[in-house]
Amino acid sequence: MKRYLFILPLFICSIVLAQTPHGPVSTMKFNIIKRTVEFLSTDTVSFKGITVNTCDGCANYEALKKFAVKMTKVDSLIDKWVKIEVGPDKAEMIKFSETVLNNISTGNARRENRRKLPGFKEYQKAVADIIAGNVTTPPAPIPDTQEPVMTTTPPTARQSDARQVGAAPAAEAPAEESADDLTAISIRNETEKLPWVFIGGTILGILLALYFYAALLKEKKKKEDLKKLFEKQKDKATALEAEKNKLWEDVKALDNKLREAQDKFIKLEESQATERKQYQQKVREARDTPAETPPPAINVSKEFVPIVKYARYADKIDGFSAEELLDKDDNETIFEITITSPATGAFRVSNNRQAQRYALSNASFFFGKTCQYEAFPVADSVIVTDKPGELVLSGDKWMIRHPAKIRFN
């Protein structure tokens, strides 16, 4: 934004100086452009609705643009011609006029037809007169302090003609003198502008120096602020690193405590398992010891009454533990065991739907050694026992002699 604050005054000054002609060269250039625009206004094919072909009140380029407001793209041509640099040399002015002429009369058929317009020759003559210096601002009237000499003898016709013939060169003398001294006057006027150019350039240089100095200070302050911010973030990162290390040590300590607790739990579990085995061994020994019973009567002969028991799974892999059989079923008792004699029995899959769903959750484990089936089960299948399995009492377990045959509906 600050950059534009310095460029804007220079831009405005350049516009003002460019829009208002100063000096003979600038005035001559303006007159050529003005006369060209007036000539373009006579092209009724390209520009319709133009009723005025002269810009009598045009003293600068802005007024000339207003005159050409209805003429499409002529304002851009004016800007283009204004930007062309023209020196005080007459040849350069002629070259400039030729450039302007080529811009409006070459490029396409419509432009080339402008050379055939009725006012084209008059336009060329007007431009030539401007370059020759014949179009100048009339000088202010100078009061004559001498009394005119009165003659009593009237001039003859020949003398009058001679005076008229002699007066013509005298009237043209200022124009010729202006054309001859055009270069010198232009150089003098341009020289007079140089101090202002230097002053303007110096002021602009000072402003630019101040701007860059301010920018340098701002950049320096920005770097210092960034450095402070970096140091602050660095200290913060160091503190976070220390906190992270502390937390890591705490995690390691907690992990060690967890490992110690796990070791204690494993040892306690092993100890409980050992005690449980010892207790079960004592129970089995107590059960295996035959109780003293009175000898059966000789005449006692009674039929054996079947006993129904339940088991959750074959805990002996190839059979059921006799001491683990249950008297009642529940939602996890998968097998129903019927003891048909003191040494034989039969088993089948329970009809309890909850127990069957429990068995289907891991069929390969529960039915791997106990049952035979041809198709793999699916979820929510109904288990049907086609043939019960056969059991034989062997020590403290009911050993499976023949597995049960089942199917899944």
pLDDT score recorded for residue 8: 53
Say if residue 295's pLDDT is above 50. Answer: no
Say if residue 99's pLDDT is above 80. Answer: yes
Return the SS3 of 345.
strand
Is residue 354 within 8 A of residue 331, CB to CB? The reply is: yes
Whether this model's pTM surpasses 0.85: no
Cα distances from 59 to residues 9, 19, 79, 199, in angstroms, run 24, 10, 16, 27
Structure tokens at 46: 């390209």
User: Which of 334, 319, 333 has its CA nearest to residue 396?
Assistant: 319
Per-residue pLDDT band for 180 (boundaries 50, 70, 90) equals: very low
Per-residue pLDDT, averaged over 138-151, amounts to: 36
User: Residues 6 or more apart from 204 whose CB is under 8 A from it?
Assistant: 6, 10
Per-residue pLDDT, averaged over 34-59, amounts to: 91
Per-residue pLDDT, averaged over 93-99, amounts to: 94
Sheet containing 344-349, strands listed edge to edge, beginning at the edge strand earlier in sequence? 307-311, 335-339, 344-349, 389-394, 397-402, 319-321
Per-residue pLDDT band for 360 (boundaries 50, 70, 90) equals: very high
- Model confidence over 188-218: pLDDT tens digits? 555 555 577 779 889 999 999 999 999 999 9
pLDDT score recorded for residue 336: 96
- Domain locations in the chain as residue ranges: 1-136, 307-408
pLDDT score recorded for residue 289: 46
pLDDT score recorded for residue 134: 61
pLDDT score recorded for residue 192: 56
Q: Counting Cβ atoms within 10 Å, is residue 139 exposed (0-12), middle (13-18) or buried (19+)? A: exposed
Is residue 136 within 8 A of residue 177, CB to CB? The reply is: no
- How much is the mean pLDDT over the chain? 80
Lowest mean pLDDT among 6-20, 74-88, 103-117, 387-401: 6-20
User: Which of 18, 6, 7, 2 has its CA nearest to residue 86?
Assistant: 18
Return the SS3 of 3.
helix
**Tokens 């100086």 sit on residue:** 17
Lowest mean pLDDT among 19-23, 55-59, 74-78, 188-192: 188-192
Identity of the amino acid at 161: D
Q: Which residue has the higher pLDDT, 309 or 285?
A: 309
Q: What sign results for the dihedral spanned by CA atoms 331, 332, 337, 342?
A: negative
Pairing of strands 344-349, 389-394: antiparallel
Say if residue 341's pLDDT is above 80. Answer: yes
Structure tokens at 209: 């120096």
Per-residue pLDDT band for 276 (boundaries 50, 70, 90) equals: confident
Per-residue pLDDT, averaged over 142-162, amounts to: 37
- Model confidence over 223-254: pLDDT tens digits? 999 999 999 999 999 999 999 999 999 999 99
Please tell me what DSSP assigns to residue 343: S
